[in-house]
Chains A and B, each alone.
Chain A
Amino acid sequence: MASTINGERISVLEDKCIGAGNCVDAAEKYFDQDDDTAKVVLLRDVVEPGDGDSVRRAVNVCPVAAILLNSSGA
């Protein structure tokens, strides 16, 4: 379910990232972009309570599927 991803781990595939910046718009607490390369910078890698929707949103709006979620850490 959409909002039960607390505790899931986020990882990013920097090589794939094209610096579109959509993830920053969706979940600023988790994603930023490098000033020089525009590539995604992960600010924290565990989804905190209440943030499930915005992180999932970031996953969905990434044009190259460079953001991954996995529940193994949960």
Chain B
Amino acid sequence: MSFPTSDDVWPFARDSAQPLLPPPRFAELRDEGLVEVKMYDGAPAVLATKYADIRDILMSDAVSSDGTLPNFPYVSDATRANRGERRTFDRLDPPIHDEHRAMLASNFTQKRIRELRPFVEEVVSNLLDEMEKANGSADFVTMFAQPIPAQIICRLLGLPLTDAPFFFDRIHIWTNDQGNPDDIVKATAELLEYFDQLIDERIGAEGSDIITGLVNKQLVPGHISRPQLLLTFHLLLIAGFDTTTNMIGLGTLLLLRNPDAWRELVETEDPELVPSAVEELLRFLSVAHSTHIRLARGPIPVGHQLIPAGAGILAPQGAGNHDPAQFPDPDTLDIHRDARGHLAFGAGVHQCLGQQLARLELNVVFSLLPKRFPDLQLDVPFDELPFRPNSMVYGVESMPVRW
């Protein structure tokens, strides 16, 4: 390849003094344009750090997400184990990707998601009531950030909430990019077995949940195979639980680190401010910090350059979202900036299917939480918080707060 080569091994580390920012190496390399870095096994991959380049790559017709292709880059043996053979539609290319995604899409239209608002408000209000009873302090993650998406996904999929601990446990194992590959394979098998039994129960059943709908409208008439449907359920569960949890946790943390922004949300009467703040939190945090790995199926034009067919590609959303050419003063949180157009949900055909739901959840959280707990603050020093650098989705394990 004809790109400047760097000795850097992917993934880059964050600065431990600035754990809410993407790795500082992005900013150092950005002026170089595309560069070649090494994966853990020594394989080369092309890294993009400019917003425009990352968008070009993710939106290209020649880019592939198919992890079974030769030379597809991996960050560890663990990710090879959990993503290699798992052909959920986030790892499939068009046209099969589009077919599988389309089976779900009607559940996530703007209209359907807007109809869920009263339900989401009820879930969040009830959890805030619970928190109020907790005598002035709590772990924000287990008390609030986790149960919100858990209750919502369980309701959408028609799963009993009592099984949420089982899901959390398996998802936690599954999303550890440096975990033990055997454990990861086992966690996947257990989730798939759970869904396999569920399919039998739902055949012929009545119900408006997504699983019952897919079983009876897609599986029974033969539009999708049973193994493929199991993978779709697995994807929905993983994608919907952990991402939103970490946006609620880190989003709250970032606001508490920016007291002026927090105050504004406490005091605002402007219905436009929370949606704008939510987009800025998504941009700034870019929690899906490992969903940017691709392979060039054919040559990919990027700016004035060309990534050759067969090259492994890294197009990290966090780097694009902190490109000063797109977002001036990118490392400053500015809840008034127009952050729409950020890459936190990806770009191209794989752009997040659940994004309108995630936006709804975050909008309800950041409308209600600051007003109910205006004096919320961290109950441990910031630098003692247990961040999760090795997790597929960035976040904190726990976050003690008081009020």
- The residues of A with any CB-CB pair to B shorter than 8 Å are 18-22, 24-26, 32-33, 35-39, 57, 60-61, 63-65
10 smallest A-B Cβ distances: which pairs?
A38-B105, A63-B351, A19-B105, A21-B110, A24-B110, A33-B109, A38-B109, A63-B347, A38-B106, A21-B356
Residue in A35, A63, A64 whose CB lies within 8 Å of B106: A35
A contact face: mostly helix, strand, loop, or mixed? loop
- B residues near A (Cβ < 8 Å) are 59, 98, 101-102, 105-106, 108-111, 113, 340-341, 345-349, 351-353, 355-356
B105 contacts which chain A residues (CB < 8 A)? 18-19, 37-39
Q: How far is the CA of A24 from the CA of B355 in the complex (A)?
A: 13
Q: Which residue of A lies closest to B107 (CB)?
A: A38
* Contact A20 B351, beta carbon cutoff 8 Å: yes
CB of A21 within 8 A of CB of B59, answer no
Q: Give the residue name and chain of the A residue nearest to B340 (CB).
A: A61
Also in contact, A36 and B347, with CB within 8 A (given A57-B340, A61-B340, A65-B59): no
Write the nearest CB–CB distance from B317 to chain A, whole angstroms.
12
CA distance A19 to B109 in the complex (A): 7
Residues B355 and A33 in contact, CB atoms below 8 Å apart: no
Nearest-neighbour CB distance to chain A for B340, whole angstroms, equals: 6
Contacts of A19 in B (CB 8 A): 101-102, 105-106, 108-109
CB distance from B52 to the nearest CB of A (A): 12
A59 to B356, CA, bound (A): 17
- In the assembled complex, the Cα of A26 lies from the Cα of B59 at a distance in Å of 20
Inter-subunit contact A38/B108 (CB<8 Å): yes
Q: Beyond A38-B108, A60-B341, list 12 extra A-B contacts (CB 8 Å).
A: A18-B105, A19-B102, A19-B106, A20-B351, A20-B353, A21-B109, A26-B340, A35-B106, A37-B106, A38-B102, A61-B340, A61-B341
CA distance A74 to B106 in the complex (A): 35
Task: Tell me whether A64 and B349 are in contact in the complex, defined as CB-CB below 8 angstroms, given that A38-B105, A57-B340 are known contacts.
Answer: yes
**Interchain nearest-CB distance for A52 vs B (Å):** 15
Residues of chain A with a CB closer than 8 A to B101's CB: 18-19
Q: List 27 A-B contacts (CB under 8 A).
A: A18-B101, A18-B351, A19-B101, A19-B102, A19-B105, A19-B106, A19-B108, A20-B351, A20-B353, A20-B355, A21-B113, A21-B356, A22-B355, A24-B110, A25-B110, A26-B340, A32-B111, A33-B110, A37-B102, A37-B106, A57-B340, A60-B341, A61-B340, A63-B59, A63-B347, A63-B348, A64-B351
Question: What A residues does B98 contact at CB under 8 A?
Answer: 18
Q: How far is the CA of A67 from the CA of B17 in the complex (A)?
A: 42
For the complex, give the distance between the alpha carbons of A57 and B279 in Å. Answer: 14
Q: Within 8 Å CB of B106, what residues of A? A: 19, 35-38
For the complex, give the distance between the alpha carbons of A72 and B385 in Å. Answer: 57
| A29 to B110 Cα, complex, angstroms | 14
Cβ of A21 and Cβ of B340 under 8 Å apart? Answer: no
Residues of B within 8 A of A61 (CB): 340-341
Residues of B within 8 A of A60 (CB): 340-341
Residues of chain B within 8 A (CB-CB) of A32 are 111
- State whether B349 touches A18 (Cβ < 8 A): yes
When distances are taken between beta carbons in the complex, the residues of chain A under 8 Å from B356 are 21, 25
Interchain nearest-CB distance for B114 vs A (Å): 10
Chain B residues with CB below 8 A from A63, complex form: 59, 345-349, 351
Chain B residues with CB below 8 A from A20, complex form: 351-353, 355
A60 to B356, CA, bound (A): 17
Complex-state Cα separation, A25 to B8, whole angstroms = 40
By a CB distance below 8 angstroms, the chain A residues around B341 are 60-61
Q: Using Cβ atoms and an 8 Å threshold, which residues of chain A touch B355? A: 20-22
Determine the distance from Cα of A25 to Cα of B340 in the docked complex, in whole angstroms: 11
* Chain A residues with CB under 8 A of B345: 63
Chain B residues near A35 (CB-CB < 8 A):
106, 109, 111
B349 → A minimal CB distance (Å): 6
Cα separation A19 to B108 with both chains bound (whole Å): 8
Report how far A22 CA is from B108 CA in the complex, Å: 11
Q: Which residues of the partner chain B approach A18 to less than 8 Å between Cβ atoms?
A: 98, 101, 105, 349, 351
Residue in B105, B345, B346, B351 whose Cβ sees the most chain A Cβ within 10 Å: B105
